[in-house]
A and B are shown apart, each in its own frame.
Chain A
């Protein structure tokens, strides 16, 4: 149980376009989801906490207008990278809290902006 599905697994887009990444909890309800960014050979960096029905909480240094987060239901959170540029290329991972101390991660999305 406690499966999180993330789509797409990889995407290539042109500079200036926007890309949406979906994170779904398949067999549980997630009032809180998290979005991470991971650079090659580095650890995960928390970008924002997504709360169902309210605004996301962004970590210091993360541009809210650049990385739009929507958590409209208890099973879906989306991250939209707006006006993407090559420096936004990265591995993005979502996770959801499935219970006390239980966090389940999506399989990640590799974004390449050309």
Chain B
């Protein structure tokens, strides 16, 4: 079974700071997704990456897929309170999703 380890587990920062969240897999990803979940809600898809070395940007969020497709990172520039939430990397195949351990981000004004 594929295991996805995220780091850090918790991150508490001030508005305007930059941060990076990492996701490491015990095996090669077929495809990888990043989700954000706010308290009391279901996860919402941010991005899907498929190709090794791929970089995608979503406003202040930059997603990178490792060349070997065993790791990924999410970088947030100038974090804002609205970025607060649980960030999840997810491996998906034709059967089901496998969730990472999660990174809980708190951005203070």
Show the binding face of A for B, using Cβ within 8 Å: 4, 6, 9, 34, 36, 41-46, 49, 91, 93, 95, 101-103, 105-108, 110
Given A101-B31, A108-B41, does the pair A43, B97 have CB atoms closer than 8 Å?
no
Residue pair A103, B92 in contact (C-beta under 8 Å): yes
Name the B residues within 8 Å of A41 (CB-CB): 104
How many interface contacts (CB-CB < 8 Å) are there between A and B?
Answer: 49
Residue pair A93, B42 in contact (C-beta under 8 Å): yes
Which 5 interchain pairs have the tightest Cβ spacing?
A105-B42, A43-B102, A44-B99, A43-B99, A107-B42
Residue pair B42, A95 in contact (C-beta under 8 Å): yes
Show the binding face of B for A, using Cβ within 8 Å: 31, 33, 40-45, 48, 86, 88, 92, 95-102, 104
Residue pair B96, A44 in contact (C-beta under 8 Å): no
Name the B residues within 8 Å of A4 (CB-CB): 42
Q: Give, as a whole number of angstroms, the nearest-CB distance from B45 to chain A.
A: 7
Residue pair A105, B104 in contact (C-beta under 8 Å): no
Q: Give, as a whole number of angstroms, the nearest-CB distance from B50 to chain A.
A: 8
Given A44-B43, A105-B43, A105-B44, does the pair A34, B104 have CB atoms closer than 8 Å?
no
Bound-state CA distance A49–B31 (Å) is 20
Closest B residue to A9 by beta carbon equals B40
